[in-house]
Amino acid sequence: MPIRTRFLPACAALSAILLSAAAPVPAAPASVVLTPHRAIYDLKLLRTRGRGDIEAVSGRIVYDFSGSACAGYALNFRQVSAMESTEASKTVLSDLRSTTWEEGGAKRFHFSSENYVNDRSVDTVEGNAERGGDHVAVKLAKPTDKSFDLDHAMVFPTEQMRLIIEAARAGKTILQMPVYDGSDNGEKVYSTMTLIGHEIGPDEKVNDAAAGQAALAGLKRWPVTISYFDRTDEKRGEQTPVYAISFELYENGISRALELDYDDFVVAGAMTQLDIKQAPECK
258 dihedral zone (left: phi>0; alpha: psi -120 to 50; beta): beta
Q: Which of 13, 11, 8 is nearest to 181 (CA)?
A: 13
Give me the pLDDT at residue 5, please: 47
Give the burial class of 48: count Cβ atoms within 10 A of its Cβ; 0-12 exposed, 13-18 middle, 19 or more buried.
middle
For 153-183, letters b (16+ CB in 10 Å) and e give bbbbbbbbbbbbbbbbbeeeeebebbbbbbb
pLDDT band at residue 21 using 50, 70 and 90 as cut-offs: very low
Give me the pLDDT at residue 3, please: 47
Give me the pLDDT at residue 193, please: 96
* Tens digits of residue pLDDT in 37-80: 999 999 999 998 876 678 899 999 999 999 999 999 999 999 99
Answer for the pair 245, 182: CB distance below 8 angstroms, yes or no. no
User: Has residue 239 got a pLDDT over 90?
Assistant: no
User: Has residue 246 got a pLDDT over 70?
Assistant: yes
Give me the pLDDT at residue 1, please: 62
* Tens digits of residue pLDDT in 179-231: 999 988 899 899 999 999 999 987 788 999 999 999 999 899 999 999 999 87
pLDDT band at residue 2 using 50, 70 and 90 as cut-offs: low
3-state secondary structure of 228: strand
Q: How far is 179 from 149, CA to CA, in rounded Å?
A: 14
Q: How far is 231 from 179, CA to CA, in rounded Å?
A: 10
Give me the pLDDT at residue 20, please: 29
Q: How far is 3 from 232, CA to CA, in rounded Å?
A: 20
